[in-house]
Chains A and B, each alone.
Chain A
Amino acid sequence: MKYLFILLSFFLTENGCCNKNNIDQEALSFEYNATSRGLFQQITIDKNKIKTISARGEKPIEKACPDDLWASLVNNLDSLDLKTIENLKAPSDKRLFDGAAHASLSINYKDKTYKSPSFDHGNPPKAIASLVKVIRSAAENIE
């Protein structure tokens, strides 16, 4: 009986523990934008592809999205309430006088887009900092 309980709870937690198992990963994508007069960067990532545009009006460069990168992005959502993204506060405001590019993060899930207010490229709000880091590193590895 005792063993059965342990076994049972193992299965239960396996199914219920992680948010990522409840996420419809096919309906999830991330978009990071950074814009200044001399800088244009757009990175979009879904389960299958990473697309980057590094100059205004240029065609995107595409490559397959590695499983470990996607897992890392999905893991980052565990600690993030999507609804709070719209009200995040930028920790610095150098973009107001061009000391930084204007950046923003959008998470598309099902038919909704959760978009952050703009923040300084290079200094995202704490709650999305590790997510932004993973997204930007994906773009750096593409070139």
Chain B
Amino acid sequence: MRKLFLGMASLALLFSSCDNEKSTITPSQEIDMSNFSVYTPDAELTAKPTDGKSNTKTCYSMNVLNRQLQENPGLEQKMYAIEYQTRKYIAGKGKPSGGGGGGGNTDPDVDVLPIADNLGTINIPVNIIIVYPDASTVTQSQIDTQMATLNDDFVNPHTDQLPSGTTFANDATNAGFSFTVAGVYRYNDPTSSWGTNDAVKAAYPPISPETHLNIWVCNIGGGILGYAQFPGGAPETDGVVIGGPYFGTTSGVYGLGRTATHEIGHYLNLRHIWGDGPCRFDDYVVDTPDASASNGGCPTFPSVSCKSADMTMNYMDYTYDACMYMFTDGQRNRMRAIFQPGGARAALVGN
């Protein structure tokens, strides 16, 4: 409720600042929301202003927001409020060195420091819901190896795996999350392909989604390995869905359990590292370099776009499992922001 109120308050400020160019500066206006979009922004709305004045940007964001509110008012307001809370937390606690906060960065060497909060390692209890014609085809070993992968990826910065020549060693992070199995539920269901419209969640509802991460394991189809839901969405569809062959340690280029790492990144409010668009589209994290598109396969360093080397080894890119092995400090801070008091997933803490 409090975060909603904050979001509404900031909304009101944005509206008034467009109407009145000379409105006095209030603390809330220091949180720059101009580049945020729940959806991918329109190209014209994200064009960087040439005169450097921030007022035009504020009006752009109002236009974006107006459109979003029309399309799905409830969700958009929630996601806007979550983004506002996240930025306010990061702006108040952490200052990147060597570059500004907020929008897209052109300096690939921006270093963000992990924000010291008093949450320690945040443990996330997990309910695993297996839905297959024969639910025993997803083995206990897959569950065990999946949990081991998550417990390593969200702690171990894996800097030893970085190729020589990168500037990413100071960005690789210990995100400070652990995962424990709370329950495993198996359902035999003849459905051969569940798609990405949350059908599996409707058929087999999540258990305690307010306090637990739910992972559905089922056949998705259409070449989709897994999909997620950002914070702010409906509790009855909250969680991630992973295809059985990509759950835990299996085989093939997506056989190391990193699909779950990537999807849980989305569940914890991370965007794709290239911002789902050209260079000027941002992932709202300042220590990830701008990129013009996803990278796939196992790229040889460097893969250059937007005048800098892409961080293809980031979990939020589209590379093979063996070739992605890091989150950044900026991503860590963004994920942990939603667990702070008033944050969208604060209720998961202490379960």
Query: Is B94's beta carbon under 8 Å from chain A?
Result: no
Measured in the bound complex, the distance between the Cα atoms of B253 and A57 in whole Å is 14
| Most B Cβ at <10 Å: residue of A35, A97, A118 | A97
9 nearest A-B residue pairs (beta carbon):
A39-B223, A99-B196, A38-B225, A98-B227, A93-B39, A99-B227, A97-B228, A38-B223, A37-B318
A93 in contact with B230 (CB, 8 Å):
no
Shortest beta-carbon distance from B162 to chain A in Å? 21
Confirm or deny: A94 has a beta carbon within 8 angstroms of a beta carbon on chain B: yes
Q: Is A100's beta carbon under 8 Å from chain B?
A: yes
* Closest Cβ neighbor of A119 among chain B residues: B40
Our count of residue pairs bridging A and B at CB distance below 8 angstroms stands at: 77
CB distance from A47 to the nearest CB of B (A): 28
* Cα of A40 to Cα of B225 in the assembled complex, Å: 12
A37 and B254 contact, CB distance less than 8 A: yes
- Interface residues in A23-62 (C-beta closer than 8 Å to B): 35-40, 56-57
Question: Number of B residues contacting the other chain (C-beta, 8 Å)?
Answer: 31
8 Å CB contacts to B: which residues of A89-103? 89-90, 93-102
Q: State the main secondary structure of chain A at its contact with B.
A: loop
Q: Mark A78-122, 1 if CB is under 8 A from B, else 0.
A: 000000001101100111111111100000000000000110001
Task: Specify which of A36, A57, A118 is in contact with B223 (CB 8 Å cutoff).
Answer: A36
In the complex, identify which listed stretch (B11-19, B105-113, B259-267) lies at the interface while the others stay far away: B259-267
Q: Are A38 and B224 in contact (CB under 8 A)?
A: yes
A98 to B40, Cβ gap below 8 A?
A: no
Closest CB-CB distance, A95 to chain B, in whole Å?
A: 7
Please name 9 further chain A to chain B contacts, defined as beta carbons within 8 Å, in addition to the given A38-B225, A94-B196, A96-B40, sorted by A numbering.
A36-B224, A37-B254, A38-B246, A38-B254, A40-B296, A93-B40, A96-B272, A98-B266, A122-B222
User: Contact at A98–B294, with CB atoms within 8 Å?
Assistant: no
B163 near A: Cβ within 8 Å? no
Give the docked Cα–Cα distance between A98 and B242 (Å).
Answer: 11
The answer to whether B160 has its CB under 8 Å from any CB of chain A is: no
